[in-house]
């Protein structure tokens, strides 16, 4: 075999080897590309997961803060209503004590008028001045919410009346009813501040 023939036989082997190497390089390149692509996808997925986790955490924090705000607002609103009610109750209580202290004065006026009903005309004229003072006082207390109870002829009720004594009823209709009033009862804004002291028919 000549050297020329040997060279010709070796050349196809070299070409095959080069071709195989080229294919291997391309495969390696493809693998590297796929690897990079997979890595990028994984990084993208991990970033998305991190962002989703952060969003979820922020939503939980927002819900918690919103809940705290609503509770705080509700507590403040209740506190405001309670303090307003306490202030009104305090004002009512303060006026209640003053009005209760003025009730005996009203009683004295009424007793004085009854005692002087049969007096002379001159005395009656003098009483007119006292009646004007009494009516002014009564009007002021009425504007504050004071109202006298109507007791005589009404059925005896322990929520409004205090029985001092029982007497035989003058008629059948007055049995179990108030036949006389010893001391007038009063209510302030719908609440009893003094029970009427009464005589009940049996």
Q: Please check the confidence at residue 197 and state whether its pLDDT lies above 90.
A: yes
β-bridge pairing 146-148 and 178-183: unpaired
Q: Are 197 and 182 in contact (CB under 8 A)?
A: yes
* pLDDT per residue as tens digits for the range 95-144: 888 899 999 999 999 988 888 776 667 667 778 888 899 999 999 999 98
Instruction: Please tell me the least confidently modeled range out of 18-27, 151-160, 173-182.
Output: 18-27
Q: Which CATH class is domain 146-202?
A: mainly beta
* pLDDT per residue as tens digits for the range 37-67: 656 566 666 788 888 888 888 999 999 999 9
Q: What percentage of the chain has pLDDT greater than the value 90?
A: 40
Task: Determine the pLDDT at residue 79.
Answer: 92
Task: Determine the pLDDT at residue 8.
Answer: 47
Tell me which of 7 and 21 has the higher pLDDT: 21
| Ramachandran sector of residue 155 (left: φ over 0; alpha: ψ -120 to 50; beta: rest) | beta
- Residue 102: burial class (beta carbons within 10 Å; 0-12, 13-18, 19+): middle
Task: Determine the pLDDT at residue 7.
Answer: 46
For residue 154, which of 194, 200, 190, 187 has the smallest C-alpha distance? 200
Task: Determine the pLDDT at residue 37.
Answer: 61
Please list the residues that pair with 188 across neighbouring strands.
Answer: 146, 191
Task: Determine the pLDDT at residue 34.
Answer: 63
Q: Please check the confidence at residue 148 and state whether its pLDDT lies above 90.
A: yes
Task: Determine the pLDDT at residue 14.
Answer: 47
- Judged by DSSP in three states, 29 sits in helix
Task: Determine the pLDDT at residue 43.
Answer: 63
Determine the longest span between alpha carbons in the chain, in angstroms: 177
Euclidean distance between CA atoms 181 and 163, whole angstroms: 9
Task: Determine the pLDDT at residue 12.
Answer: 47
**Residues in Cβ contact with 187 at an 8 Å cutoff, skipping those fewer than 6 apart:** 146, 147, 148, 149, 193
Q: Report how far apart, in Å, the C-alpha atoms of 105 and of each of 101, 111, 164 are.
A: 8, 10, 22
Q: Are 155 and 119 in contact (CB under 8 A)?
A: no
Q: Please check the confidence at residue 152 and state whether its pLDDT lies above 80.
A: yes
Handedness of CA 177, 192, 159, 106 (dihedral sign): negative
Euclidean distance between CA atoms 1 and 16, whole angstroms: 22
Domain with CATH 2.30.22.10 in the chain: 146-202
| Ramachandran sector of residue 176 (left: φ over 0; alpha: ψ -120 to 50; beta: rest) | left
Instruction: Please tell me the least confidently modeled range out of 41-45, 148-152, 185-189, 195-199.
Output: 41-45
pTM over 0.75: no
Average predicted confidence (pLDDT) for the chain: 81
């Amino acid at each position: 075999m000549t050297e020329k023939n040997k060279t010709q036989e070796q050349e196809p082997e070299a070409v095959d080897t080069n071709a195989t190497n080229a294919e291997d390089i391309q495969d390696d390149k493809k693998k590297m590309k796929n690897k990079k692509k997979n890595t990028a996808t994984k990084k993208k997925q991990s970033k998305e997961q991190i962002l989703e986790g952060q969003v979820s955490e922020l939503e939980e924090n927002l819900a918690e803060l919103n809940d705290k705000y609503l509770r705080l607002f509700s507590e403040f609103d209740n506190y405001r209503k309670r303090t307003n009610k306490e202030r009104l109750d305090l004002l009512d209580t303060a006026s209640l004590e003053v009005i209760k202290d003025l009730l005996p004065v009203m009683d004295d006026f009424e007793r004085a008028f009854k005692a002087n009903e049969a007096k002379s005309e001159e005395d009656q004229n003098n009483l007119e001045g006292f009646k004007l003072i009494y009516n002014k006082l009564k009007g002021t207390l009425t504007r504050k919410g004071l109202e006298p109870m109507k007791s005589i002829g009404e059925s005896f009720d322990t929520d409004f009346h205090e029985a001092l004594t029982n007497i035989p009823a003058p008629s059948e209709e007055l049995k179990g009813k108030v036949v006389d009033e010893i001391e007038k009862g009063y209510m302030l804004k719908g609440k009893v501040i003094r029970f009427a002291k009464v005589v009940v028919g049996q």
